[in-house]
Chains A and B, each alone.
Chain A
Amino acid sequence: MPGWPEKRVYIGSHTRRIDAPAKVTGAAKYTSDVQPEGWLYGMILRSKWAKAKITKIDLDKALKLPGIKAAVLAREGERTVRYYGEELAAVAGSTKQACLDALRAIEVEATELPFVVREDEAMGDSAPRVWEDSPNAAAPHVNEKGEVDKAFAECATVVEGSFSTPVQIHHPLETHGNTVSWADDGITCWASTQGITSVAEGLADNLNVPQSRIRVLSEFMGGGFGSKFGPGVEGGLAARLSRQAKAPVKLMLTRFDQSLAVGNRPSSFQKIKLGATADGILRAFELESYGTAGIGAGGSTAGGGGGAGFPAPYIYTVPNIRVKQSSVAVNAGSARAFRAPGHPPASFGMESIMDDLAVKLGMDPVEIRLKNDPSEVRRKEYRLAAERFGWKEKYKTPGSSPGPVKTGVGCAGATWGGGGRGTQAEAQINPDGSIEIRCGTQDLGTGTKTLIALIGADMLGLKPEQILVRIGDTRYPPSGGSGGSTTAASVSPAIHNVCTRALEELQKQTGIADARGENWMAACKKLGLNPLVVHGAWQEGLSSSGAGGVQFAEVEVDTDTGFVKVRKITCVQDGGLIVSQLTAESQVHGGILMGIGYALYEERIMDRQTGFVLNPNFETYKLAGLADAPEIDLVLLDMPERGVIGIGEPVTIPTAGAIANAVANAIGVRVGSLPITPQKVLAALGKDKLTTA
């Protein structure tokens, strides 16, 4: 198997997205744009209780309303709902308004049950149980090595701190949803998904229909961040509504729905103790944490996203460690994988305590990382980033910047596995010289289509626009889900392989020694009447895993109002062979913006009186906007010898830790809780005490 071409014209270039014109003109059809003949709106009725026994749901009145064509229950018979927003029933109708009216006409008989939505309260022995058969707090996961107590006793310096991170909601701009048409010959599902194949599997299983009868399409989609792998309850409901109504049903969730039931990042409450020698070598580490993954952390994890654990002591190697982590169930929607699951809270806690240690030792925060970070790549990145950022000139004693508006700087590191394999693809070369590459992957908005075109162009000596890329259809060769930053590393080698084999076959059939570039048209003409179709698959040696990255942040903190403004982020990231430079850079920008949101704005707020999510909208669930975006200086280390590596996840990991350290450096005290709001900054400065309550 040959490696990546030495001469790369398009791979690694700043070529723009091949679908950019379609996206900016609106020609690109997303799931929410699809309008098959005779389609109906679908909508879901959700639980208005944080916990309740549902004894009866009467759909009759809803079914009789004008425009309503179908109504189904999410589950038959008596049942217990365990969070506000859990699905009860769904309706399909010819207008949105008809559906809204129908939802209000459905009669639900329910008995409210005690609930708990706060992690600390759920831990208590007398707290209402989320799952009747098991305590809310699962048995802790313990990891111990070395002699921790002895090591702490021998440390020259020990620091301790408490850190917390909120439940963060994925909130992709395109909400979850599907348009499903269930006809006699099978099911067609247009899905907003990260995995067309897993949607087909999920629907087959849910509806008891052979997978061969299900076709899933997703040519364009507007983000998922880990929360869109299966059809979801909403997908199954849309299918059943379609069967009942004998018409296609489009069921896209609203932003309100999105806040309740389709995933989130678990919270964390971390107590950390870290000990080091006088010259800053880490010797002992202790962490006790808990957090919630919603109802998913209790007795049943069906549909859940696992627990609230995270890697500790994250990227550092400490000889003596004691880690105790537990997940606590609360009456709220389940967590799902969320861009670098576990890593942002791990990075925030660990990198914060590292800076506290550096301050106590009187060491430079970059120095202490260079001494303790086991990754050679990351140490190199720290040096390069510090140089570009001007760290030496900018780093000052914490809190020493003059005036009420103080500046500060901080840094943090990240790691991510990635990898990816298994993709298949096929190429069809037509006698007229046109070529089509088909692959059953999907483009989350990250640029997968563009990546395929760029590789195809370089492998065949063509221009990217000569290659018609077809993805997002389960009738194409399978690729697998797009998660874990695996898509680029899984898809790229398959495209390399299919192009290599197609070229070989073309040359063999036509007798032209090199059919690339200027010989392409002549070779294709010689194919005669039948197009050439060649199959290819992922091969070892063209991609790899393991991406390290560092980020540096510069902030301004108004110590009178508590307002934090991020001025600059410098990011140095390892991504192996960068296939599409522009979309890779776009990933970095997106990761940093999401990291800023995590650091400063985002938080799901639960009301303990009602058990409801209080901010199910973008008014009070605050996302970073353009005005909040800093200057971003980014370097993607060029390491083509490592092959293709995905970078979607690592670039969002260290942002919050770097910002938190910059805030601490600016004001001289630690804000240990995300998001770092004016309220928390003023409290840390002791100014919140001027209250009269």
Chain B
Amino acid sequence: MKPFQYATALSPAGARELAGEDGAYLAGGNDLLALMKEYLVEPRILVNIKSLPGLNRVKPGAKVWTLGAGVTVAELEDHEGVKKVFPGLQQAAAEVGSRQIRNVATLGGNLAQHSRCWYYRHRDILCLKRGGDTCYARHGENKYHSLFTGNTCISPVVSNLSVALTALEATVLVQRGDEQKRMTLKELYARAWDNPTAHNSLEPGDLILAVEIPVRGGSSAYLQASEKSAFDWALVSCAVAGRVKGGTITGARIVLGAVSPMPYEAAAANDSLEGKSLDAETAARAADLVLARAHAQAQNGYKIPIARALIQRSLLQLKAQS
């Protein structure tokens, strides 16, 4: 680990100023400290953001809920209101890491975490994502990798919360320079789709302040498949949201995680459900549309049937919840 300075910020603008272009923000530290120990990132300064006012607040609202970026994943998991209004988000939070991790991991950190690709994370491998010239996963061990990507890197986004929040059409409030900027979840990850070295679209010094979720009056659900029963990454995750009335769905959103560098959705699949009766058949049709452009690598083709199953199950769960 490279020596670094440490400071505590008391306002977003102050945090931004302290961090400069080569600092990093410290909240839960789960990802950041591991990255530093492996020399994957070498910030000049760590800016403690745990004292920023309002950063750890869940603020319910009739039209919009505002979740501070410093809210822990465990708080989202345990929050009765979140469970009631955004069940898919609560279910996604409950699947993050272990309880010990969730107790310190924050919403902002979960969204901003780096790739877990085992080539990217390996101390002695300089892969494409780290600025090298080869995506080793393409020719190597890729059972955990992407089915969709817009570039050569096939490491997928692993943030559970990003998947649920995309389905919920949330926006992210970011401190960029002197301004506060709103980004959709899609915008937050768009750069990772195109650029192999990007994990998200944040610029150096950008600070996630909050996530805003519109209340759309429907329901949401999240499911993931892993190799182990708990404390394991998703092989595939799926979040759905929409309004189901009398068995008919409107405003459906189906989003997959762990299969693409950004939360993945297909407009055609969402559109196919509009105004339709939600049943095994329409759910299967939607799943086919989501997966129509899936491109399997040598070892990850099994993610396709898993994704199909999760889409169908989460849609039917959505119906059962409604």
Q: Which residues of A contact B (CB under 8 A)?
A: 48, 84, 97, 100, 256, 404, 558, 560-563, 565, 600-601, 605, 607-610, 612, 614-615, 619-620, 622, 624-628, 677-679, 682-683, 687-693
Contact = CB atoms under 8 A, between A and B. Distances in A.
B179 interface: no
Contacts of B275: none
B6 interface: no
A601 B227 contact: yes
B140 A609 contact: yes
Contact of B302 (A256, A625, A687): A687
B122 A614 contact: yes
B309 A560 contact: yes
Nearest to A613: B122
Given A609-B139, A628-B228, A562 B125 contact: no
Given A615-B118, A692-B296, A693-B297, A561 B310 contact: yes
A682 B305 contact: yes
B296 A691 contact: yes
B295 interface: yes
Contacts of A615: 118
A688 B305 CA distance: 7
The binding surface of chain B is classed by DSSP as loop
A608 B231 CA distance: 28
Given A404-B309, A615-B118, A692-B296, 13 more contacts: A558-B309, A560-B306, A560-B313, A601-B227, A605-B141, A609-B139, A612-B125, A614-B119, A678-B306, A679-B302, A690-B308, A691-B296, A691-B302
Nearest to A560: B309
B118 A614 contact: yes
B54 interface: no
A690 B313 CA distance: 19
A401 to B, nearest CB: 18
Most chain A beta-carbon neighbours within 10 Å: one of B116, B141, B296, B308? B141
A678 B225 CA distance: 9
A626 B228 CA distance: 10
Contacts of B231: 625, 627
A692 B295 contact: yes
A625 B98 CA distance: 11
Nearest to B299: A679
Scoring B119, B123, B144, B301 by chain A CB atoms within 10 A of each residue's CB, the highest score goes to B301
A565 B229 contact: yes
7 contacts: A562-B305, A607-B141, A619-B233, A628-B229, A691-B296, A692-B296, A693-B295
B141 A678 contact: no
Interface residues of B, number: 39
Contacts of A609: 136, 139-140
Contact of B298 (A601, A678, A693): A693
B306 A561 contact: yes
A614 B226 CA distance: 19
A690 B118 contact: no
Interface string B226-239: 11111111010000
Contacts of B143: 679
B136 A607 contact: yes
A56 to B, nearest CB: 20
B294 interface: yes
Nearest to A682: B302
Nearest to B304: A690
Most chain B CB atoms below 10 A, which of A256, A404, A625: A625
B1 interface: yes
Contacts of B304: 690-692
Nearest to B116: A619
Contacts of A628: 228-230
B124 interface: yes
A562 B140 contact: no
A561 B303 CA distance: 8
B301 A691 contact: yes
Nearest to B226: A563
The 5 closest A-B pairs by CB, nearest first: A691-B301, A560-B309, A691-B296, A627-B230, A627-B229
Given A609-B140, A614-B141, A620-B118, A690 B228 contact: no
B301 A693 contact: yes
A689 B308 CA distance: 13
Q: Kindly name the residue among B144, B227, B313 whose own CB sees the greatest number of chain A CB atoms within 10 A.
A: B227
